[in-house]
Chains A and B, each alone.
Chain A
């Protein structure tokens, strides 16, 4: 799905002006913890998040995120938008919440680009 099509699907508002809207998005990932994003996201995904600080853009840049969706109509500070413009990563604000947005994207055929946690490899204490 192209970024431009994605914007329509989520009633989104594009907040950046340097981004390539014809870029293809391969799937999605939703998280509010940046380390979770860095740990699980695969390249060329759209990142759904409720966080608005510049670190969202830095995280996206490091993890080769194709676009950022801010859930629940969030409006990021200027530094975040400036950084996104400098790095050419589109930021889209959508009025919908995280669950609704994940559902919409999934229904439109967008796969998850979150690698599941490999608990055994990390000797998790969760049992």
Chain B
């Protein structure tokens, strides 16, 4: 466990590094008002510095906005101002002699990233937050930003957990003689760049539904091969239809042409009618249908030249891998 030491002494752990880019996104999504401290302690220009010292100590704050009678921010007093005043031995002086008058302000509806930029560029410890009418509604420190982002990250994580939880109980919560969930995807011919998007969504849905990773992987691979076949070989694309039931996953991939001339030949390892161009893209190895057969429990392929092709696949879910139990077993 020598690793532990080096891990704890690192400022940014690997786990955190993973979060950093999400944090960047969140910094744009989250508004100042979501992270700020509301009802901030304020001081008034005519208060003595001694009174402020007591307030800072009791309230455990290191700065406070200075407000006027009409509740407008006219300055800011920080602990450095207090230190300066103590050095001068002037604790009976008033706030207006020591406060900073040029206050940097931020609006409650600004994205958090604006506040971050201000903190980086200007040497300030806190920013008074105003609403659109210019009233003081809160105060933002660097610590508030960190806390706000961490809270949002946790919520993010929680949201995915809730999604999974809800989905994994879908089949338990709905009573019928036969419950199934049907997912349909239209696949465009030649749309190589988006190829795999449907399979990707299907795999994600299965994981949310609580399917175990092996089942999700097998289904993902089989559907992906079928999806690429529709993209590469059909004249006008086709449809992938997945029916999920507590005991099985049935997948149907069908198209309207051109059809397969010789199914037996198509099923041979290494046989492919793919063009050189498709091969350059990494497909057309002649292993697609073999792969599918390997991944699914049942498979049938029907085709009529000039009419179309229908590939049906079935993956059986044993008792221990069924959806309702997927959640509890992990």
Mark A residues whose CB is within 8 Å of B. 4, 17-22, 32-36, 38-39, 43, 49, 51, 53-56, 58-59, 61-64, 79, 85, 87, 122, 124-125
- Do residues A55 and B283 form an inter-chain contact, with CB atoms below 8 A? yes
Query: In the assembled complex, how far is the CB of residue B285 from the closest CB belonging to chain A, in whole angstroms?
Result: 4
Chain B residues whose C-beta falls within 8 Å of the C-beta of A39 in the assembled complex:
287, 290-291, 294
- Do residues B21 and A38 form an inter-chain contact, with CB atoms below 8 A? no
Q: Which of B17, B21, B217 contacts A62 (CB 8 A)?
A: B217
Query: In the assembled complex, how far is the CB of residue B202 from the closest CB belonging to chain A, in whole angstroms?
Result: 10
Measured in the bound complex, the distance between the Cα atoms of B196 and A55 in whole Å is: 7
B18 on the interface (CB 8 Å rule)? Answer: yes
- Do residues A33 and B285 form an inter-chain contact, with CB atoms below 8 A? yes
Chain A residues whose C-beta falls within 8 Å of the C-beta of B203 in the assembled complex:
61-62
Chain A residues whose C-beta falls within 8 Å of the C-beta of B281 in the assembled complex:
51, 53, 55
Q: Give 8 closest A-B pairs by Cβ, nearest first.
A: A58-B196, A22-B14, A35-B287, A62-B220, A33-B285, A35-B285, A34-B282, A20-B18
B22 on the interface (CB 8 Å rule)? Answer: yes
Query: In the assembled complex, how far is the CB of residue B3 from the closest CB belonging to chain A, in whole angstroms?
Result: 10
B189 on the interface (CB 8 Å rule)? Answer: no
Q: Which of A21, A38, A53, A54 contacts B225 (CB 8 A)?
A: A38
Measured in the bound complex, the distance between the Cα atoms of B13 and A20 in whole Å is: 11
Query: In the assembled complex, how far is the CB of residue A45 from the closest CB belonging to chain B, in whole angstroms?
Result: 12
- Do residues B18 and A19 form an inter-chain contact, with CB atoms below 8 A? yes
By DSSP majority rule, is chain B's interface helix, strand, loop, or mixed?
A: helix
* Binary A-proximity of B266-294 (CB < 8 A = 1, otherwise 0): 00110000000000011101111011001
Query: In the assembled complex, how far is the CB of residue A111 from the closest CB belonging to chain B, in whole angstroms?
Result: 19
Chain A residues whose C-beta falls within 8 Å of the C-beta of B220 in the assembled complex:
61-63
If A34-B282, A55-B192 touch, does A62 touch B221 (CB 8 Å cutoff)? yes
* Binary A-proximity of B3-25 (CB < 8 A = 1, otherwise 0): 00000000000110110011000
Chain B residues whose C-beta falls within 8 Å of the C-beta of A59 in the assembled complex:
196, 224, 282
- Do residues B287 and A36 form an inter-chain contact, with CB atoms below 8 A? yes
Query: In the assembled complex, how far is the CB of residue B242 from the closest CB belonging to chain A, in whole angstroms?
Result: 14
- Do residues A51 and B224 form an inter-chain contact, with CB atoms below 8 A? no
Query: In the assembled complex, how far is the CB of residue A31 from the closest CB belonging to chain B, in whole angstroms?
Result: 9
- Do residues A63 and B282 form an inter-chain contact, with CB atoms below 8 A? no
If A58-B196, A62-B217 touch, does A35 touch B283 (CB 8 Å cutoff)? yes
Nearest opposing residue in chain A for B218, CB measure: A62
